[in-house]
Structure 1
């Protein structure tokens, strides 16, 4: 039986408005109800959780199994983002609740960030403000000459849709690109990118960029052992998830000059408390506030696709963004 008055529940602390979401929902269901909560949603869960038809949630929202089991009427959980590590997808599968993310929506933005990070490492334009004050010009203003970007090597960890797009962008800059992904066999070549083992890729790269999902297999996959395999001038770029790195070991590696530096758009605690953030204060470590994916276009696509995913699940249909249903239609 079709419910013409479904309840949509939005859990979020990121957006300033929900005009796009409301417009899409009301287009399909003019009489739909829409409720809103922050990440502290326990009271709201108790009040209307068992009535929710579709849950739209920011990727920062923790949605554990005990919450999912209270969503008695839920037809789907649609996430605003590419990650889904804070949702118990197995518990959702047991409840036969599909979960969707938004795959590949910000590949252009991530690629821009990675290219910008590499260019910044080569020649940080803002750093020359202080140099000029010392009346240093030309060669005297440069502490160390760098190779051109097209003479350097990029290693991509995680060769999915975003990783492949980043690789293409780097190739357009003339870089030699290598990639590691367990789904591909070492020695293969894909779109002029050489697939190699993790150890080899770390050893040959001037820049290493991370684009794999966070899972039990990838959590803390890079620590001092791996950093010791990198060049002493190598720079690590992370736009995926902070917990993929052993942060303290990364900071130690930079401090002891095991590697050249790190540019991190994600850290394990987001947003960080002041005392947590203090540990990142090293001139060769740059932390940005998880903004690599942001642009007018990416946010519009994110909002549209997330809401459309929710509408599809409410109608009993699954999109390519579903993460806990296999190709046979079985919950996993």
Structure 2
């Protein structure tokens, strides 16, 4: 039996080749909007999904759908409950981005603490001696607060502790004490913002986390502290972050994600000297893109071979 796989957005050729090696037909999507998926999914058995919205309407339109395989670790763009009701597996690739994103966060820590991007810009503007009045910060012995201590958070901790000699402070409401490494100090939500010299966010985007980091947290941070967000833009209240930066409640921020993507050109965060912005690119490496595509494809192969997937994120009522 020949199965048809919908791919709404481009993925690495290695994932596509793996699916083709099993005789599956690839259907490239006509777009990444909900209405595009509704139209394209009608005759498909699986979706290899990146960031397109996989809503209940999309799932219902896919009369033959058996699996939606997410290309990456997050799955907030999939209606998991609707998929379960309709007997459709939803999966992710939970460890595909771990090391890549952790490396990126290490780079963010170095960039923000050493003012690398600001110095680069000022030097290109002809101000070689701007450095004399804008010194960086050493990291050895500084406190790194990691909010969300899952796969990526733990990998960041390992790299920062062993590679940079930083002190690790961690907060995660879902972990037990024995789940933390010996070098991590477990903190409450309030204390981690109070103690850390650099805060890096790694919590999932669930309802209770939307805009959970705001003025209360910024007011609790040191004036010399930095905030890094390579998780999801919606976990920060951007309006309050802008206010905190303008009022110098914190020293600066590194943002790879935003409440609205792409952010509007007049977003103040894009023009602040004490903010580094990147275009949601923490996992954007050749190696990571291949791994995400291959792992998502492997889940599709399993389900269409009547096997249980390795990384399900729902529990469907099998038809």
1:24 paired with 2:18, answer yes
Q: Which residue in 2 is equivalent to 1:142?
A: 132
Contact 2:33 2:53 in 1 (8 A): no
Secondary structure of 1:274's match? Answer: coil
Q: In the alignment, which of 167, 184, 189 is matched to residue 175 of structure 2?
A: 184
Moved more, 92-101 or 315-324: 315-324
CA distance in 1 between counterparts of 2:21 and 2:233 reads 38
* Structure 2 residue runs without a partner (length 5+): none
Contact 1:186 1:196 in 2 (8 A): no
Contact 1:155 1:201 in 2 (8 A): yes
Contact 1:89 1:324 in 2 (8 A): yes
Q: In the alignment, which of 2, 5, 18 is matched to residue 5 of structure 1?
A: 2
Using a 3 Å threshold, how does the CA distance of structure 1 residues 126 and 237 change in structure 2: closer, same or farther? closer
CA distance in 2 between counterparts of 1:185 and 1:107 reads 21
Taking the TM superposition and a 5 Å limit, the aligned residue runs for 1:1-332 are: 4-12=1-9, 15=10, 19-29=13-23, 32-37=24-29, 38-40=31-33, 42=35, 45-46=38-39, 49-58=41-50, 60-128=51-119, 130=122, 133-134=126-127, 136=129, 141-172=131-162, 173-185=164-176, 189-275=180-266, 277-278=267-268, 280-325=270-315
Using a 3 Å threshold, how does the CA distance of structure 1 residues 297 and 43 change in structure 2: closer, same or farther? closer
Shift of 1:207: 0.5
CA distance in 2 between counterparts of 1:250 and 1:244 reads 11
CA distance in 1 between counterparts of 2:197 and 2:88 reads 44
Secondary structure of 1:56's match? Answer: strand
* Structure 1 residue runs without a partner (length 5+): none
Q: CA RMSD in A?
A: 2.3
CA distance in 1 between counterparts of 2:271 and 2:110 reads 21
Q: TM-score, normalised by structure 2?
A: 0.91
CA distance in 2 between counterparts of 1:189 and 1:103 reads 19
The structure whose RCO (Cα within 8 Å, separation 6+) is larger is 2
Using a 3 Å threshold, how does the CA distance of structure 1 residues 100 and 189 change in structure 2: closer, same or farther? closer
Using a 3 Å threshold, how does the CA distance of structure 1 residues 21 and 115 change in structure 2: closer, same or farther? closer
Matched positions, count = 314
CA deviation vs aligned residue, 1:196-243 (integer Å, no higher than 9, x gap): 111111100010001111001111111101111111111110111000
Using a 3 Å threshold, how does the CA distance of structure 1 residues 180 and 330 change in structure 2: closer, same or farther? farther
Shift of 1:141: 3.3
